[in-house]
Structure 1
């Protein structure tokens, strides 16, 4: 494992910790898209089915279990916790996720490395992760109510993907047979979706102002 992948994994983990900190300590999920969190839960479920069929390393297994458990915990809090669920912006979080899930599933059935159930579901998770942030970004544009923890959470998610791109570049030059076009293209699409957010996040930080996105 190279430093870029480790940094990406740790940044991803910190982003989830920041979100759980917001939900657990403030008892609020305002500004957080439940639809995005449910998409991420679906991503992890489909991607980590190989937990039952393939062992890579202790680190790999632990990280998979952490992401599965944390995503389930976030969805539970937002849907069922008697205090947290009352802070959910249900009227604003209305993006129709079928327009994300259906094309990703169709693409996974058509464009994959091997037409087997596990491989198709893994590919589906790659495509879906690339666009899962869209409901969250749309919600932030609509509410204009971006607190520091929410802004940091989204920024860290984007940073995690940017670090993974560096990981892919490093592996491309150090591993002769490393070619993963599906992962690369999906990762570039995912990172591109964050660029507008990055711009306004850095601008707000530089000017010491509250983060807001143009509607």
Structure 2
């Protein structure tokens, strides 16, 4: 594992820590899209089907368990924990996320490395992760004013994908025969979706102002 992938994994963990900190400490999920959290839970379930049959490393297994456990715990809190659920902005989180699931699944059936169940599910998880942030970005666009914890959560989530892009570039030049076109294209699409958010995030940081997205 190179430093860029490790940094990406830690940044991904940081995004989850920030979100859980908001939910547990403030007892609020205001500004957080339940639709996006449900998509991420589906991403991890379909990606880690091999968790109990294939051992890569202790680190790999622990990270899989963390992402699975935290994604479902976030969904549970937002759906069933009374105080947290009361702060959920259901009226603005109306993006029809199932419209993302069906095209991603269809694409995974058409474009994959091998036509096997686990390979198709893994490919589906890549396609779905690429667009899972869309309901969250739409919610932020509608509410415009973004609190610090939610803004930092989305920033760390985007930074994780950016670091993974650097990791892929590094591996391409240092590892013979390293080609994963599906992973690369999905990752580029996912990172590109954060471009507008990153711009306003850094503008607010530079001007020491609260993050506000344009209407």
For residue 52 of structure 1, give the secondary structure of its aligned residue in structure 2: coil
For residue 49 of structure 2, give the secondary structure of its aligned residue in structure 1: helix
Length-normalised TM-score, structure 1? 0.99
Shift of 1:98: 1.9
Deviations 1:114-157 (A, max 9, x none): 00110000000000000000000000000113100000000000
Work out the CA distance in 2 between the residues paired with 1:207 and 1:171.
36
Q: Give runs of aligned pairs for residues 119-198 of structure 1, distance below 5 A.
A: 119-198=119-198
Work out the CA distance in 2 between the residues paired with 1:172 and 1:6.
17
Match of 2:115 in 1: 115
Match of 2:74 in 1: 74
Match of 1:36 in 2: 36
Deviations 1:85-140 (A, max 9, x none): 00000010000012211110000000000001100000000000000000000000
Work out the CA distance in 1 between the residues paired with 2:16 and 2:121.
23
Structure 2: stretches of 5+ with no match in the other structure: none
Match of 2:7 in 1: 7
How many residues align? The count is: 215
Structure 1: stretches of 5+ with no match in the other structure: none
Work out the CA distance in 2 between the residues paired with 1:67 and 1:192.
23
For residue 8 of structure 2, give the secondary structure of its aligned residue in structure 1: helix
Q: Give runs of aligned pairs for residues 93-104 of structure 1, distance below 5 A.
A: 93-104=93-104
Q: CA RMSD in A?
A: 0.5
Structure 1 residue 213 corresponds to structure 2 residue 210:
no
Q: Give runs of aligned pairs for residues 9-24 of structure 1, distance below 5 A.
A: 9-24=9-24
Alpha carbons 2:145, 2:213 under 8 Å: kept: no
Work out the CA distance in 1 between the residues paired with 2:33 and 2:48.
23
Deviations 1:34-72 (A, max 9, x none): 000000000000000011221100000000000000001
Work out the CA distance in 2 between the residues paired with 1:199 and 1:126.
25
For residue 83 of structure 1, give the secondary structure of its aligned residue in structure 2: helix
Work out the CA distance in 2 between the residues paired with 1:210 and 1:171.
38
Work out the CA distance in 2 between the residues paired with 1:10 and 1:2.
13
- Runs of 4+ in structure 1 deviating by more than 3 angstroms, as ranges, are none
